[in-house]
Amino acid sequence: MQVKNRFIVVFAIFIILAFNVTPSYGFTNTITVNIPSRTIYFVSQNMSKLYAIAVGKIVSTSPLGTYRIINKQVNPKWVSPWNGEVVPSGPDNPLGYRWMGFYSDYGIHGNNMPSSIGTLASSGCIRMYEADVEELFDMVSYGDIVNVVCQTIFPKTSPTGGMALFVYPDFYKKGLNTRQHIEIELQNYGIKVSDDTFRKLYKYVNVKDPLVFSEGYKVIRNNELVSSDVYRSQDGQFYMRVGDLKGYLNIDDEKIKDLKSVLVDNANYVNIDDIANLTGLKFVVDNDTNTIKMIGNIIYYDGKFLSTTNYVDYQSRDIYIPIKEFFTAAGYTVEWDPQDGVIVDGRSIKYKLYESKSYINQKDLRSLYGLDITVDSSSNKIYIKRD
Protein backbone atom coordinates (compact mmCIF):
# COMPACT_ATOMS: atom_id res chain seq x y z
CA MET A 1 0.00 0.00 0.00
CA GLN A 2 2.90 2.32 0.80
CA VAL A 3 4.36 1.74 -2.66
CA LYS A 4 0.97 2.26 -4.28
CA ASN A 5 0.40 5.54 -2.43
CA ARG A 6 3.87 6.74 -3.31
CA PHE A 7 3.25 5.93 -6.95
CA ILE A 8 0.05 7.99 -6.90
CA VAL A 9 1.85 10.95 -5.32
CA VAL A 10 4.80 10.74 -7.71
CA PHE A 11 2.50 10.43 -10.70
CA ALA A 12 0.45 13.43 -9.56
CA ILE A 13 3.59 15.52 -9.13
CA PHE A 14 4.79 14.48 -12.58
CA ILE A 15 1.50 15.53 -14.14
CA ILE A 16 1.55 18.89 -12.36
CA LEU A 17 5.14 19.64 -13.34
CA ALA A 18 4.82 18.35 -16.88
CA PHE A 19 1.61 20.16 -17.67
CA ASN A 20 2.50 23.37 -15.78
CA VAL A 21 -1.13 24.46 -15.92
CA THR A 22 -2.78 27.16 -13.85
CA PRO A 23 -6.14 25.84 -12.59
CA SER A 24 -9.15 27.33 -14.33
CA TYR A 25 -12.87 26.87 -14.39
CA GLY A 26 -12.79 25.30 -17.87
CA PHE A 27 -11.09 22.01 -18.79
CA THR A 28 -8.17 22.28 -21.20
CA ASN A 29 -7.28 19.27 -23.33
CA THR A 30 -3.69 18.09 -22.96
CA ILE A 31 -1.41 16.37 -25.44
CA THR A 32 1.67 14.76 -23.91
CA VAL A 33 4.36 13.71 -26.37
CA ASN A 34 6.86 11.31 -24.80
CA ILE A 35 10.02 10.97 -26.87
CA PRO A 36 11.46 7.70 -25.45
CA SER A 37 8.22 5.70 -25.81
CA ARG A 38 7.28 7.45 -29.07
CA THR A 39 3.70 8.01 -27.99
CA ILE A 40 1.15 10.79 -27.71
CA TYR A 41 -1.22 10.70 -24.77
CA PHE A 42 -4.33 12.81 -25.35
CA VAL A 43 -6.57 13.68 -22.41
CA SER A 44 -9.90 15.48 -22.66
CA GLN A 45 -12.68 15.88 -20.12
CA ASN A 46 -14.47 12.81 -21.47
CA MET A 47 -11.79 10.46 -22.74
CA SER A 48 -8.10 9.64 -23.05
CA LYS A 49 -6.19 7.82 -25.75
CA LEU A 50 -2.63 6.79 -26.58
CA TYR A 51 -1.26 7.01 -30.12
CA ALA A 52 1.91 5.73 -31.78
CA ILE A 53 4.12 8.46 -33.30
CA ALA A 54 7.46 9.24 -34.90
CA VAL A 55 9.65 11.93 -33.32
CA GLY A 56 12.68 14.02 -34.18
CA LYS A 57 15.98 12.39 -35.03
CA ILE A 58 18.98 12.71 -32.72
CA VAL A 59 20.42 15.37 -35.07
CA SER A 60 17.08 17.21 -35.29
CA THR A 61 15.40 16.71 -31.95
CA SER A 62 11.80 17.53 -31.13
CA PRO A 63 11.63 20.63 -28.87
CA LEU A 64 11.10 19.72 -25.22
CA GLY A 65 8.82 21.97 -23.21
CA THR A 66 5.23 23.08 -22.70
CA TYR A 67 3.38 24.73 -25.59
CA ARG A 68 -0.12 25.31 -26.91
CA ILE A 69 -1.84 24.55 -30.19
CA ILE A 70 -1.44 27.75 -32.21
CA ASN A 71 -2.75 26.73 -35.64
CA LYS A 72 -4.65 23.96 -37.37
CA GLN A 73 -4.72 23.21 -41.08
CA VAL A 74 -6.51 20.73 -43.32
CA ASN A 75 -4.55 19.73 -46.44
CA PRO A 76 -1.44 21.74 -45.49
CA LYS A 77 1.22 22.73 -47.99
CA TRP A 78 4.83 21.78 -47.33
CA VAL A 79 7.79 24.00 -48.13
CA SER A 80 11.03 22.10 -48.67
CA PRO A 81 13.75 23.39 -46.30
CA TRP A 82 16.37 22.45 -48.87
CA ASN A 83 15.22 24.19 -52.06
CA GLY A 84 12.10 26.14 -51.06
CA GLU A 85 9.83 24.08 -53.32
CA VAL A 86 6.17 24.25 -52.32
CA VAL A 87 4.51 20.82 -52.30
CA PRO A 88 0.68 20.92 -52.32
CA SER A 89 -1.49 18.57 -50.32
CA GLY A 90 -1.38 15.05 -51.69
CA PRO A 91 0.54 11.77 -51.54
CA ASP A 92 3.91 13.50 -52.07
CA ASN A 93 3.41 15.83 -49.10
CA PRO A 94 5.24 14.54 -45.98
CA LEU A 95 2.83 16.45 -43.70
CA GLY A 96 -0.09 14.27 -44.73
CA TYR A 97 -3.54 15.87 -44.62
CA ARG A 98 -3.62 17.44 -41.14
CA TRP A 99 -1.38 19.89 -39.28
CA MET A 100 -1.52 21.12 -35.67
CA GLY A 101 1.22 23.66 -34.99
CA PHE A 102 2.43 24.18 -31.43
CA TYR A 103 5.75 26.06 -31.62
CA SER A 104 7.49 28.00 -34.41
CA ASP A 105 7.68 25.60 -37.38
CA TYR A 106 7.01 22.51 -35.25
CA GLY A 107 3.73 20.67 -35.31
CA ILE A 108 1.84 17.39 -35.07
CA HIS A 109 0.92 16.08 -38.51
CA GLY A 110 0.20 13.10 -40.71
CA ASN A 111 2.72 11.43 -42.98
CA ASN A 112 3.32 9.79 -46.33
CA MET A 113 5.72 7.20 -44.89
CA PRO A 114 3.79 5.08 -42.35
CA SER A 115 6.76 2.77 -41.81
CA SER A 116 8.44 5.64 -39.94
CA ILE A 117 5.89 5.57 -37.10
CA GLY A 118 7.53 4.28 -33.95
CA THR A 119 10.96 5.60 -34.92
CA LEU A 120 13.12 8.73 -34.72
CA ALA A 121 12.55 9.97 -38.24
CA SER A 122 11.54 13.62 -38.46
CA SER A 123 13.25 17.00 -38.45
CA GLY A 124 11.64 17.69 -35.08
CA CYS A 125 7.91 17.50 -35.82
CA ILE A 126 5.62 14.78 -34.49
CA ARG A 127 4.32 12.34 -37.11
CA MET A 128 1.21 10.23 -36.68
CA TYR A 129 -0.62 7.64 -38.73
CA GLU A 130 -2.94 9.54 -41.06
CA ALA A 131 -6.14 8.05 -39.63
CA ASP A 132 -4.92 8.78 -36.09
CA VAL A 133 -4.03 12.41 -36.78
CA GLU A 134 -7.38 13.05 -38.46
CA GLU A 135 -9.12 11.63 -35.38
CA LEU A 136 -6.98 13.73 -33.03
CA PHE A 137 -7.40 16.85 -35.18
CA ASP A 138 -11.16 16.77 -34.66
CA MET A 139 -10.75 16.61 -30.87
CA VAL A 140 -8.07 19.29 -30.47
CA SER A 141 -8.78 23.01 -30.11
CA TYR A 142 -6.70 26.16 -30.30
CA GLY A 143 -4.97 26.73 -26.97
CA ASP A 144 -4.84 23.07 -25.97
CA ILE A 145 -1.67 22.25 -24.07
CA VAL A 146 1.16 20.31 -25.70
CA ASN A 147 3.83 18.85 -23.42
CA VAL A 148 6.92 17.39 -25.09
CA VAL A 149 8.77 15.35 -22.46
CA CYS A 150 11.50 12.75 -22.03
CA GLN A 151 10.39 10.13 -19.52
CA THR A 152 12.23 6.86 -19.90
CA ILE A 153 11.15 4.89 -16.82
CA PHE A 154 7.67 3.49 -16.17
CA PRO A 155 6.49 0.92 -13.61
CA LYS A 156 4.11 -1.60 -15.15
CA THR A 157 1.73 -4.06 -13.52
CA SER A 158 0.49 -7.40 -14.86
CA PRO A 159 -3.13 -8.58 -14.47
CA THR A 160 -2.17 -10.72 -11.45
CA GLY A 161 -0.29 -7.87 -9.76
CA GLY A 162 3.27 -8.65 -10.81
CA MET A 163 5.48 -5.63 -11.45
CA ALA A 164 8.34 -4.72 -13.77
CA LEU A 165 10.20 -1.54 -14.64
CA PHE A 166 10.15 -0.54 -18.32
CA VAL A 167 13.21 1.53 -19.30
CA TYR A 168 13.10 3.13 -22.74
CA PRO A 169 16.25 4.35 -24.51
CA ASP A 170 17.49 7.82 -23.60
CA PHE A 171 17.61 8.82 -27.26
CA TYR A 172 18.37 12.48 -26.63
CA LYS A 173 21.17 11.67 -24.17
CA LYS A 174 19.72 13.46 -21.15
CA GLY A 175 21.48 11.19 -18.65
CA LEU A 176 18.20 9.66 -17.51
CA ASN A 177 19.07 5.96 -17.41
CA THR A 178 21.95 5.88 -14.95
CA ARG A 179 22.51 2.78 -12.87
CA GLN A 180 21.71 4.72 -9.71
CA HIS A 181 18.46 6.12 -11.10
CA ILE A 182 17.18 2.71 -12.16
CA GLU A 183 18.18 1.12 -8.84
CA ILE A 184 16.32 3.84 -6.94
CA GLU A 185 13.18 3.38 -9.04
CA LEU A 186 13.28 -0.39 -8.57
CA GLN A 187 13.50 0.14 -4.82
CA ASN A 188 10.77 2.77 -4.83
CA TYR A 189 8.29 0.47 -6.56
CA GLY A 190 9.27 -2.64 -4.62
CA ILE A 191 10.53 -4.53 -7.68
CA LYS A 192 13.14 -7.02 -6.49
CA VAL A 193 15.99 -7.76 -8.87
CA SER A 194 19.14 -9.63 -7.85
CA ASP A 195 22.56 -8.05 -8.38
CA ASP A 196 23.40 -10.65 -11.04
CA THR A 197 20.17 -9.99 -12.94
CA PHE A 198 20.65 -6.23 -12.73
CA ARG A 199 24.19 -6.49 -14.13
CA LYS A 200 22.98 -8.76 -16.93
CA LEU A 201 20.16 -6.42 -17.92
CA TYR A 202 21.95 -3.10 -17.48
CA LYS A 203 24.41 -4.01 -20.24
CA TYR A 204 21.53 -3.41 -22.65
CA VAL A 205 20.34 -0.05 -21.31
CA ASN A 206 19.65 2.39 -24.16
CA VAL A 207 19.95 -0.58 -26.56
CA LYS A 208 16.90 -2.76 -25.94
CA ASP A 209 13.60 -1.02 -26.55
CA PRO A 210 12.23 -1.26 -23.95
CA LEU A 211 14.58 -2.88 -21.43
CA VAL A 212 12.42 -4.52 -18.77
CA PHE A 213 13.70 -5.06 -15.23
CA SER A 214 12.27 -7.88 -13.14
CA GLU A 215 13.56 -11.17 -11.80
CA GLY A 216 13.18 -14.06 -14.24
CA TYR A 217 11.48 -14.10 -17.62
CA LYS A 218 8.58 -11.81 -18.43
CA VAL A 219 6.09 -11.40 -21.29
CA ILE A 220 5.56 -7.92 -22.71
CA ARG A 221 3.50 -6.50 -25.54
CA ASN A 222 4.13 -3.02 -26.92
CA ASN A 223 4.01 -0.73 -23.84
CA GLU A 224 2.32 -3.30 -21.60
CA LEU A 225 3.40 -5.95 -19.11
CA VAL A 226 1.49 -9.14 -19.88
CA SER A 227 3.13 -11.30 -17.22
CA SER A 228 6.13 -11.17 -14.91
CA ASP A 229 5.45 -14.74 -13.81
CA VAL A 230 6.90 -17.11 -16.41
CA TYR A 231 7.94 -20.69 -15.70
CA ARG A 232 10.76 -22.27 -17.73
CA SER A 233 10.78 -26.05 -17.76
CA GLN A 234 13.89 -28.21 -17.69
CA ASP A 235 13.60 -28.79 -21.44
CA GLY A 236 13.55 -25.03 -22.12
CA GLN A 237 9.82 -24.59 -22.71
CA PHE A 238 8.16 -21.38 -21.50
CA TYR A 239 4.87 -21.30 -19.60
CA MET A 240 2.86 -18.19 -18.75
CA ARG A 241 0.62 -17.90 -15.73
CA VAL A 242 -3.00 -18.62 -16.64
CA GLY A 243 -4.27 -15.70 -14.56
CA ASP A 244 -2.18 -13.27 -16.60
CA LEU A 245 -3.33 -14.82 -19.88
CA LYS A 246 -6.99 -14.52 -18.88
CA GLY A 247 -6.57 -11.07 -17.41
CA TYR A 248 -4.62 -9.57 -20.28
CA LEU A 249 -6.68 -10.99 -23.14
CA ASN A 250 -9.97 -11.10 -21.21
CA ILE A 251 -10.49 -14.49 -22.76
CA ASP A 252 -13.35 -16.79 -21.77
CA ASP A 253 -12.66 -20.01 -19.87
CA GLU A 254 -14.49 -21.86 -22.64
CA LYS A 255 -11.85 -20.85 -25.17
CA ILE A 256 -8.91 -22.02 -23.08
CA LYS A 257 -10.47 -25.11 -21.49
CA ASP A 258 -8.54 -27.47 -23.79
CA LEU A 259 -5.14 -25.91 -23.06
CA LYS A 260 -2.95 -28.20 -21.00
CA SER A 261 -1.64 -26.51 -17.88
CA VAL A 262 1.04 -27.35 -15.34
CA LEU A 263 0.81 -26.60 -11.63
CA VAL A 264 3.81 -24.81 -10.12
CA ASP A 265 3.73 -23.42 -6.57
CA ASN A 266 -0.09 -23.55 -6.50
CA ALA A 267 -0.46 -21.57 -9.75
CA ASN A 268 -1.42 -22.85 -13.21
CA TYR A 269 0.77 -22.13 -16.23
CA VAL A 270 0.21 -22.65 -19.97
CA ASN A 271 2.82 -23.23 -22.66
CA ILE A 272 3.27 -20.13 -24.82
CA ASP A 273 3.37 -22.32 -27.94
CA ASP A 274 -0.13 -23.57 -27.12
CA ILE A 275 -1.27 -19.98 -26.57
CA ALA A 276 0.13 -19.07 -29.98
CA ASN A 277 -1.70 -21.96 -31.68
CA LEU A 278 -4.98 -21.02 -29.99
CA THR A 279 -4.92 -17.26 -30.50
CA GLY A 280 -2.72 -16.60 -33.53
CA LEU A 281 -0.36 -14.49 -31.41
CA LYS A 282 3.38 -14.90 -31.80
CA PHE A 283 6.06 -15.02 -29.13
CA VAL A 284 9.69 -13.98 -29.61
CA VAL A 285 12.16 -14.91 -26.88
CA ASP A 286 15.16 -12.70 -26.07
CA ASN A 287 17.44 -14.70 -23.78
CA ASP A 288 19.85 -11.78 -23.40
CA THR A 289 17.27 -9.86 -21.36
CA ASN A 290 14.93 -12.67 -20.26
CA THR A 291 12.13 -11.01 -22.21
CA ILE A 292 9.40 -12.63 -24.30
CA LYS A 293 7.58 -10.33 -26.72
CA MET A 294 3.97 -11.11 -27.57
CA ILE A 295 3.21 -9.95 -31.12
CA GLY A 296 -0.07 -9.62 -33.00
CA ASN A 297 -3.12 -7.45 -33.67
CA ILE A 298 -5.82 -8.32 -31.15
CA ILE A 299 -9.56 -7.96 -31.81
CA TYR A 300 -12.04 -7.62 -28.94
CA TYR A 301 -15.80 -7.92 -29.20
CA ASP A 302 -17.85 -6.44 -26.37
CA GLY A 303 -14.72 -6.42 -24.23
CA LYS A 304 -13.86 -10.09 -24.78
CA PHE A 305 -11.02 -11.56 -26.83
CA LEU A 306 -12.33 -12.49 -30.26
CA SER A 307 -9.39 -13.21 -32.53
CA THR A 308 -6.25 -11.81 -34.09
CA THR A 309 -5.65 -10.52 -37.59
CA ASN A 310 -2.53 -10.14 -39.70
CA TYR A 311 -4.21 -7.85 -42.23
CA VAL A 312 -4.00 -4.33 -40.89
CA ASP A 313 -3.04 -0.90 -42.18
CA TYR A 314 -3.05 1.60 -39.34
CA GLN A 315 -2.32 4.44 -41.76
CA SER A 316 -5.72 4.09 -43.45
CA ARG A 317 -7.40 1.87 -40.83
CA ASP A 318 -8.11 -0.73 -43.46
CA ILE A 319 -8.24 -3.50 -40.89
CA TYR A 320 -9.69 -6.87 -41.80
CA ILE A 321 -11.75 -8.84 -39.29
CA PRO A 322 -12.17 -12.63 -39.68
CA ILE A 323 -15.78 -13.12 -40.74
CA LYS A 324 -16.52 -16.51 -39.20
CA GLU A 325 -15.16 -15.59 -35.77
CA PHE A 326 -16.94 -12.25 -35.57
CA PHE A 327 -20.38 -13.14 -36.92
CA THR A 328 -20.52 -16.40 -34.95
CA ALA A 329 -19.74 -14.52 -31.73
CA ALA A 330 -22.34 -11.89 -32.63
CA GLY A 331 -25.04 -14.52 -33.15
CA TYR A 332 -25.35 -14.36 -36.94
CA THR A 333 -25.60 -17.27 -39.37
CA VAL A 334 -22.69 -17.40 -41.82
CA GLU A 335 -22.86 -19.42 -45.04
CA TRP A 336 -20.82 -19.76 -48.20
CA ASP A 337 -22.49 -19.55 -51.61
CA PRO A 338 -20.49 -20.54 -54.73
CA GLN A 339 -21.97 -17.62 -56.68
CA ASP A 340 -22.55 -14.88 -54.10
CA GLY A 341 -19.70 -15.67 -51.71
CA VAL A 342 -20.20 -14.95 -48.01
CA ILE A 343 -23.84 -14.81 -46.87
CA VAL A 344 -24.67 -13.44 -43.41
CA ASP A 345 -28.27 -14.00 -42.28
CA GLY A 346 -29.34 -14.28 -45.90
CA ARG A 347 -27.49 -11.15 -47.06
CA SER A 348 -24.43 -11.12 -49.30
CA ILE A 349 -21.59 -9.01 -47.89
CA LYS A 350 -18.36 -7.60 -49.26
CA TYR A 351 -15.32 -9.63 -48.24
CA LYS A 352 -11.70 -10.45 -49.04
CA LEU A 353 -9.94 -13.79 -49.04
CA TYR A 354 -6.56 -14.14 -47.34
CA GLU A 355 -5.01 -17.59 -47.25
CA SER A 356 -8.40 -19.18 -48.03
CA LYS A 357 -10.09 -17.36 -45.13
CA SER A 358 -12.72 -14.64 -45.52
CA TYR A 359 -12.37 -11.22 -43.89
CA ILE A 360 -14.41 -8.02 -43.76
CA ASN A 361 -12.99 -4.51 -43.57
CA GLN A 362 -13.77 -2.89 -40.21
CA LYS A 363 -15.09 0.15 -42.11
CA ASP A 364 -17.69 -2.01 -43.87
CA LEU A 365 -18.52 -3.77 -40.62
CA ARG A 366 -19.11 -0.42 -38.95
CA SER A 367 -21.34 0.98 -41.70
CA LEU A 368 -23.38 -2.19 -42.28
CA TYR A 369 -24.14 -3.02 -38.66
CA GLY A 370 -23.81 0.29 -36.82
CA LEU A 371 -21.02 -0.95 -34.60
CA ASP A 372 -18.76 1.18 -32.43
CA ILE A 373 -15.19 0.31 -33.47
CA THR A 374 -12.10 1.80 -31.82
CA VAL A 375 -8.64 1.35 -33.31
CA ASP A 376 -5.65 1.66 -30.96
CA SER A 377 -2.43 1.95 -32.96
CA SER A 378 -0.24 2.16 -29.85
CA SER A 379 -1.25 -1.28 -28.57
CA ASN A 380 -2.34 -2.84 -31.88
CA LYS A 381 -5.82 -3.55 -30.58
CA ILE A 382 -9.23 -3.23 -32.23
CA TYR A 383 -12.29 -2.90 -30.00
CA ILE A 384 -15.70 -3.75 -31.49
CA LYS A 385 -18.82 -2.94 -29.50
CA ARG A 386 -22.52 -3.03 -30.19
CA ASP A 387 -23.61 0.60 -30.37
Residue where a domain terminates, one of 280, 295, 310: 295
Verify that 290 and 161 share a domain, yes or no: yes
Assigned domain for 181 exists: yes
The confidence score (pLDDT) of residue 82 equals 83
Verify that 30 and 127 share a domain, yes or no: yes
pTM of this prediction? 0.90
Verify that 167 and 184 share a domain, yes or no: yes
The confidence score (pLDDT) of residue 84 equals 87
Alpha-carbon distance 39 to 232, whole Å? 33
Which residues carry out catalysis? Answer: 109, 125
Mean model confidence pLDDT for the chain:
93
Verify that 180 and 248 share a domain, yes or no: yes
How far is C-alpha 315 from the geometric centre of its chain's CA atoms? 14
Q: Half-sphere exposure of 200 toward its Cβ, with a 13 Å CA cutoff?
A: 17
Q: Half-sphere exposure of 253 toward its Cβ, with a 13 Å CA cutoff?
A: 0
CATH at 317:
3.30.457
Verify that 130 and 201 share a domain, yes or no: no
Residue where a domain terminates, one of 232, 260, 295: 295
| Number of domains the chain contains | 3
Question: At residue 22, does pLDDT exceed 70?
Answer: no
The confidence score (pLDDT) of residue 4 equals 38
Verify that 320 and 345 share a domain, yes or no: yes
Verify that 198 and 87 share a domain, yes or no: no
Instruction: Please check whether residue 378 is in contact with residue 223, taking contact to mean a CB–CB distance below 8 angstroms.
Output: yes
Assigned domain for 15 exists: no
Cross-strand pairs, 53: 128
Q: What is the pLDDT of residues 63-78, one digit of tens each?
A: 999 999 999 999 999 9
| Polymer length of the chain | 387
Verify that 196 and 167 share a domain, yes or no: yes
| Domain limits for position 372 | 299-386
CATH at 139:
2.40.440.10
Alpha-carbon distance 280 to 294, whole Å? 11
Kind and range of the H or E element at 299?
strand 297-301
Verify that 55 and 164 share a domain, yes or no: no
Question: At residue 216, does pLDDT exceed 50?
Answer: yes
DSSP 63: P
Q: What is the pLDDT of residues 312-331, one digit of tens each?
A: 999 999 999 999 999 999 99
Assigned domain for 4 exists: no
The confidence score (pLDDT) of residue 26 equals 67
Verify that 192 and 288 share a domain, yes or no: yes
